[in-house]
Chains A and B, each alone.
Chain A
Amino acid sequence: MTIDSQEPPAAAMTFEILKAAVRDAPTAARLGRLALAGRRTVETPNSFANTSRGVVPHLTPDNVNKHMHGVGGTYMGLEDFIERPQIYTQRSPPIYDTPPASPALHHRRALHSFTAMPSSIITVMGARRLPAVPAPTGNTNTTMSVFTSTGFQLLSTKEYMHAVDALRPDIVIPMADLTDKAITPTSKRAVRMAERTDEWVTDWFRQLPSASDPDLPPTATFAPVLPIPYSMQWEYLERLSEDYAPTSQLSGLALYDADVLPDLTSSYANLAPLPRLSLSAPATPHHILRQISLGVDLFVLPFLNAVSDSGLALTFTFPPPPPLPSSSSLLPLGIDLSHPSNATSLTPLLDSCPCYACTSHHRAFITHLLSAREMLGWTLLQTHNHAVLASFFAGVRTALAAGPEAYQDACRKFSAAYEPELPAGTGEKPRARGYQFRTEGAAPAKKNKPAWGKLGADFLVDGEKQDKEKVVDSGAAAADAEIEVVALQTSPHDVDALADKLAQKGFAEVAN
């Protein structure tokens, strides 16, 4: 895991707009390049990988380094690192004590070192995970509720500042007063959100340590833009434009709702050159394209991990393949690898996909891994799905480089070619345990069937029982059915039953 030998550019972070949106063009999409000292340069539009507890789920740091060339950055939530175990409530979170890397590795900041994140990858830190679990108690004027593995706790603006000081992420998003709920906040709440965030961000810039100490590796600030109407937060945005954009303290914008962008850009021209990172979690590539058209440069996409956990391999490309004249049906955005039709398929997940899963393995293996609930299945899907997204963004950039019309045209073709939603995965998911999955209200139904149970008819789940009876009734495959009748009717303890037929039937031929 060697770091780039090239010398860092003079400025800590530079964002170049290679092709700006043209005034009155049908799209505000733009082409850019984000460069940070010591990190891989990121061409935009692009996406950063979402993490859980400092890791891209299922991927060890060496796999991230070797197999995630399309991923230039990761998003981490501070709440993943600051739990207080009950018997050690007084301890300071260990991550704050991460020793500095050797001078030769000055690009490895504390957050990189603690999470063993490859040096080439940019780290973005926010206070909360993405998506954040809504807190039962609201925020106060100086604290917000965060959810750690030991429960909800308060994070003060002061501690957050201290954390950034200790961890030195490349990019940080100051605390924002968010509800983290799907429903739109009331206007009273929205006003308070804007006021509080305004105050917190003002405090932030006043105390930002790297501003005072030029020896510290700089941390770029991406100011939060709230998921409330422009009219409710214009005062806050105006402050960003007037006070912090001119002084270069403000390096970018973190959008919790991309729809504020049109108003924001038309009102504050000096915010336009800043990179825009969307944290609004678009759920499909169609949503991503829409946000790109609004002018978003960077994304964090929590849906990718959910897709991998569901046993899906993404299969879309941008621009889409030319439509087949024979077929008028829409193409799926992904395929379900749990489907038995893939059991003997030696083809890659997606033809000509350059990822590790597609070049070194095939569908049959991944289908087997999912059915056997082997963790490697999700590892390979994560690798592939991140690669598909990386190619998708590369396609978007190529189209944008050819001009707004070419991009618009490709977008139209994309939405005409692909289904609007991702398919649902039918396979069993990895065990979803842990605090980050808790939801409000009643506990959700168990996602997976129990793996083992008592022998005998009671063990059969109702649906299976019916299936079996159906097979027997229909008389299909007489020999098979006969054995199944035996299976159902003889006592399971009577292992000597009908051995001759079983011998013909063979080992491991589970009748179903």
Chain B
Amino acid sequence: MWPVRRMASTMSASSAALRFDLIAKCSTTRARASVMTLPHGPVNLPLFMPVATQASLKGITPEQLEDTGCRLCLNNTYHLGLKPGQEVLDAVGGAHKLQGWKHNILTDSGGFQMVSLLKLATVTEEGVRFLSPHDGTPMLLTPEHSISLQNSIGSDIIMQLDDVLVTTSPDLARMREAMERSVRWLDRCIAAHKNPHSQNMFCIIQGGLDLDMRRECCREMVARDTPGIAIGGLSGGEAKDDFCRVVAACTEQLPDLKPRYVMGIGYPEDLVVSVALGADMFDCVWPTRTARFGNAITKHGMLNMKREMFAADFGPIEEGCGCACCRPIEEEGAMGITRAFVHHNAAKETVAAHLLTIHNVYYQLNLMREAREAIIEDKYPAFVKEFFARLYPDRQSFPSWAVSALRGVGIDLLET
């Protein structure tokens, strides 16, 4: 049933190091299925990107990450700048070579960590000033530094340095300053970017929760014609309704033939709703972090494997899951992991965390794979309804933000 809604002819756009092929669009919502071809191979969108903060996805080997189906993962510029540092990255020949990863890497700009990790960071026109977390040495991160570092890292997608402000900030003047500064910094980043033919810079749309400011930012950013576009500043504690409004307002303005990346989003509901709102790419540490706390993500919700009820549960982590942990032992490459075994070692041996990391990353990637198939078959609304029906006991418990956001793009979750 492949080409039911396949577009008459695939629409494509190319920039120096990125090719974007729009395969299908949902006839109801704004969801899109596409292929983004990067220097280290093609990736299917919509897509979740797991976060290998320090050039390693928390305990699992690049080979195991590849086995989950991942072809694009994140590294954090801020962390790689501290360890192993730019000199080492230059000497080694970039992050791909450092971590033995044959596929694509996206790096953030380091700006978000400045603000989220370091309370004493201050932002000036020059850049972000902060104190080294190691010894308190004052340091400065400018757009030029960030791009220089990302050039050394050699990631396939690099992000501009932006002025990140918590979206809930009531200071509209500061918010406007941050938005406008992000645009000015984008110009500095583009000027400083040494490898536009092998690395794609994405701009980041700012503007807090003010939709007009967001729209204005979209216009400015789109005019600068970066290979891809990110929506930033979200996932900072704002109400989900506001989050959805911002994403919807931005995607409405963005060109069809560019990938759209909503930064820092990872809960399955958020992914499914954001895809309906027209977003393509997401990243979040939550699936891997929660794995280390002993939590497994399943289509019926999250299970804490440390609970006693799993001590003698000899079923797989999630019935029907296709990850290396859950597949039946008879299958090639399957491990035959039981909930009882994960329970036995959760919080006691790192292996339990590694297993849940593999499972959770697979879950997230597979959720996006299934969403993509549904979009191509033009069944995305049904997919969304099924997804929420599995997650919640009844319609009354559906989150209202999801109901109203989806209503805005033509899906009525509550209809029978």
Contacts and interface: CB of A to CB of B under 8 A. Distances in A.
A511 B335 CA distance: 46
Contacts of A85: 308
A167 to B, nearest CB: 13
B348 A486 contact: no
Interface string B340-364: 1101110011110111001000000
B338 A114 contact: yes
Interface in B134-156: 134-142, 145-146, 149
A344 B139 contact: no
B86 to A, nearest CB: 7
B88 A368 contact: yes
B332 A2 contact: yes
B139 A364 contact: no
Given A53-B344, A101-B329, A375 B142 contact: no
Contact of A60 (B82, B146, B351): B351
Interface stretch (A27-35, A135-143, A500-508): A500-508
Contacts of B341: 54, 114-116
B54 A497 contact: no
Contact of B141 (A2, A101, A460, A507): A507
Contacts of B92: 344, 346, 364
Contacts of B336: 1, 61, 108, 113, 116
B138 A116 contact: no
B370 interface: no
A487 interface: yes
A211 interface: no
Contacts of B139: 502, 505, 507-510
Interface residues of A, number: 88
Given A365-B100, A502-B139, A105 B86 contact: no
B64 interface: yes
A364 B333 contact: no
B84 A371 contact: yes
B329 to A, nearest CB: 6
A395 interface: no
Contact of A63 (B61, B110, B146, B312): B61
Contacts of B91: 343-344, 364
B302 interface: no
B299 to A, nearest CB: 23
A57 interface: yes
Taking residues whose C-beta sits less than 8 angstroms from the other chain, chain B's interface range is 35 or more
A510 B64 contact: no
B129 A492 contact: no
A54 B329 contact: no
Interface in B236-252: none
Interface string B312-344: 101000000000100001101111111011011
Nearest to A83: B344
B344 A486 contact: no
Contacts of A58: 59, 350-351
A507 B142 contact: yes
B130 interface: yes
B346 to A, nearest CB: 10
Interface in B88-119: 88, 91-92, 97-100, 110
B120 interface: yes
B136 A456 contact: yes
A408 interface: no
A60 B341 CA distance: 12
A436 B245 CA distance: 52
B122 interface: yes
A347 to B, nearest CB: 12
A128 to B, nearest CB: 17
Contact of A379 (B59, B110, B134): B59
Nearest to A368: B84
Contacts of B333: 1, 62
Contact of A374 (B58, B329, B355): B58
A375 B350 contact: yes
A153 interface: no
B83 interface: yes
B54 A372 contact: yes
A495 B340 contact: no
A82 to B, nearest CB: 11
A499 B142 CA distance: 11
Nearest to A365: B98
Contacts of B14: none
A102 B314 CA distance: 13
B81 interface: yes
B256 to A, nearest CB: 36
A512 B135 contact: yes
Contacts of A217: none
B140 A499 contact: yes
A300 B61 CA distance: 26
Given A52-B349, A94-B312, A62 B122 contact: no
B300 interface: no
Given A487-B138, A507-B110, 19 more contacts: A2-B332, A55-B345, A55-B351, A60-B355, A63-B61, A113-B336, A343-B91, A360-B61, A365-B55, A368-B54, A369-B56, A376-B56, A379-B354, A455-B120, A464-B135, A497-B138, A508-B141, A508-B145, A510-B134
Q: Which 4 A-B pairs have the closest CB atoms?
A: A508-B81, A375-B59, A94-B312, A344-B91
20 contacts: A57-B351, A62-B333, A63-B61, A95-B340, A99-B314, A105-B330, A114-B338, A361-B100, A365-B98, A368-B98, A369-B55, A374-B54, A379-B61, A452-B133, A499-B129, A503-B142, A506-B86, A507-B81, A507-B110, A508-B86
